[in-house]
Structure formats: C-alpha cells, structure tokens
C-alpha cells in the first residue's frame, strides 16, 4: 500500500452531470498530480497541485478543475461529463514538486459515464 | 505521435525467461525517467527512477537502462515469474517552470507457466 487513498472506488454518472473525485495524499507529501487512464492506455497527465496552487497542466479542457487543501488532500472536478470521460482516474502524491522522487499512486477511481 | 513510445505493445513469455521492454522519448528538457508496473485495475507502482546522469538502475530482478543521448530506455526483467504479468509503463518528466509528466501507453506482459 502506498498510503494514497482515493474515493469513491467506482462511480456511474450520466452525460452532462458533474463529478467530484477525492484523493488523500501520503503523509508528508505536498504535491499531488491527477491522471486520466482510458482502458488499455497509459495515464494522461491532467494537472498537478503544489501547496494549493496549480503547477502544471496537460491537454485537458477547463471543465476539468482541481483543488488542493491545506492538509494537501485534493479534489478533481469534472463538469458537463461526456462519454469519453469514462476512465480510471489516478492521483499521485510526491514529497517535492521538482525532485526526482517517486510519485506514489492511489488505487484510482473508476468513472463510467452513460 | 506520442512523445513517449513503448515497444512491444504486448509480450508473452514463459516463466523463468528474461525479457526486455523498450521506451523511446522525444520530450525535453528531460528531468527524469521512471518505469512503473501496473496490475490490472490498480494504480502504478514505481520500479526505477533515473535522472539525466544515470544510465542504469536495478531493483531486484528489474534493471533499467537510460541513454540520454539517443533518448532511449529499456527495462530488463530477469527470471520472470507469473506475478510479473502486468503492464509496464515508461514515464518521462519535464520541468519547464511547470511540472509535466508524460506516460507511455505501456507494454502488456503475460508470463505463462
């Protein structure tokens, strides 16, 4: 176990709805990154948060947004859900934003959009 | 074209055999390269991490190499076990004032008895 937890484990939504996914970082980690992983593909970087500020973003539209809280836990919000948003959403925490230290991944949230 | 390309896409080997997975990348400026193992339906678990100045790193039966000049990396698995069946993902990080991580699509390894 990596110490990174995510909730919920599974979620089913319909098109147009909004969803919030949650991530609790490993103790002592101040950086969290979110990824989207479609079936059979590698994870795609959504964005990273460091000390409650966004610190890098991949090629995702603005309806993907995030928050990081003072305790370094994090949320991923997706508005106006589309069918293609169905994927495994992974969060990963790390102790420093720019070090080569390993990211520790959570188990993921499986989102299905109908 | 993906900035991190992995090959082969999938691989079947017999238990006890060795195998080598490849990763080519085009991203820059390079910060570090990591190999992850991902079991189906679970989050990736780190195997090795290498910075620009490192050209080999071992973790038990896993040995990763890096040639920063040719932008190629490989992951060699020795004496494979059934539990090695998983996806192996190559990940390259860049830091251009903002952190960015680029994952390869992975190599799906099947180890058969």
B1, B5, B25, B23: which is closest to B76 by C-alpha? B23
A41–B43: do the CB atoms touch at under 8 Å? no
Q: Which of B39, B44, B47 to mutate to test the interface with A (most CBs of A within 10 A)?
A: B44
Which parts of chain B are beta strand (E)? 4-7, 10-14, 19-25, 30-38, 45-51, 56-59, 62-67, 72-77, 86-95, 99-103, 107-112
Q: pLDDT tens digits for A37-62? A: 998 888 998 999 988 999 888 889 99
Q: Per residue of chain B (113 residues), what is the pLDDT tens digit? A: 568 999 999 999 999 999 999 999 998 878 889 999 999 888 899 899 898 889 999 999 999 999 989 999 999 999 999 999 999 999 998 877 666 778 899 999 999 99
CA–CA gap between residue A63 and residue A57 (Å, rounded): 13
The CA distance from A38 to the nearest CA of chain B, in Å, is: 10
Task: Using the predicted structure, report yes or no on whether residue A27 has a pLDDT greater than 70.
Answer: yes
A88–B41: do the CB atoms touch at under 8 Å? yes
| Residue B30 burial (10 A CB sphere; 0-12, 13-18, 19+) | middle
Q: pLDDT tens digits for A60-88? A: 999 999 999 998 899 999 999 999 999 99
CA–CA gap between residue A7 and residue A69 (Å, rounded): 16
The CA distance from A98 to the nearest CA of chain B, in Å, is: 7
What pLDDT score does A99 carry?
Answer: 56
What pLDDT score does B109 carry?
Answer: 97
Other CB atoms closer than 10 Å to residue A100's CB: what's the count? Answer: 17
Nearest CB partner across the interface for A56, out of B34, B100, B103: B100
Residue of B nearest to A44 (CA): B103
Residue of B nearest to A4 (CA): B43
As a dihedral over the C-alpha atoms of residue B92, residue B95, residue B100, residue B104, rounded to 10 degrees, the angle is -10
CA–CA gap between residue A34 and residue A57 (Å, rounded): 10
Please say whether the beta carbons of A91 and A74 come within 8 A. Answer: yes
């Amino acid at each position: 176990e990596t110490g990174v937890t995510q909730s919920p484990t599974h979620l089913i939504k319909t098109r147009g709805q909004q969803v919030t996914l949650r991530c609790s970082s490993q103790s002592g980690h101040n950086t969290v990154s979110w990824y989207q992983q479609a079936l059979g593909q590698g994870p795609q970087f959504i964005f990273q948060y460091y000390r409650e500020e966004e610190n890098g973003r991949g090629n995702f539209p603005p309806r993907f947004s995030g928050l990081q809280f003072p305790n370094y836990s994090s949320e991923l919000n997706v508005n106006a859900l589309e069918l293609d948003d169905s994927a495994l959403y992974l969060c990963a925490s790390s102790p420093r934003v720019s070090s080569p230290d390993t990211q520790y991944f959570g188990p993921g949230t499986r989102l299905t959009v109908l | 074209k993906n900035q991190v390309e992995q090959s082969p896409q999938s691989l079947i080997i017999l238990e006890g055999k060795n195998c080598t997975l490849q990763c080519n990348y085009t991203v820059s400026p390079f910060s570090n390269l990591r190999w992850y193992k991902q079991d189906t339906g679970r989050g990736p678990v780190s195997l090795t991490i290498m910075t620009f100045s490192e050209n080999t790193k071992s973790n038990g039966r896993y040995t990763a190499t890096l040639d920063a000049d040719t932008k190629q990396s490989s992951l060699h698995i020795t004496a494979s076990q059934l539990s090695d069946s998983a996806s192996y993902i190559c990940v390259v990080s860049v830091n251009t004032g903002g952190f960015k991580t680029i994952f390869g699509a992975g190599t799906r390894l099947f180890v058969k008895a």
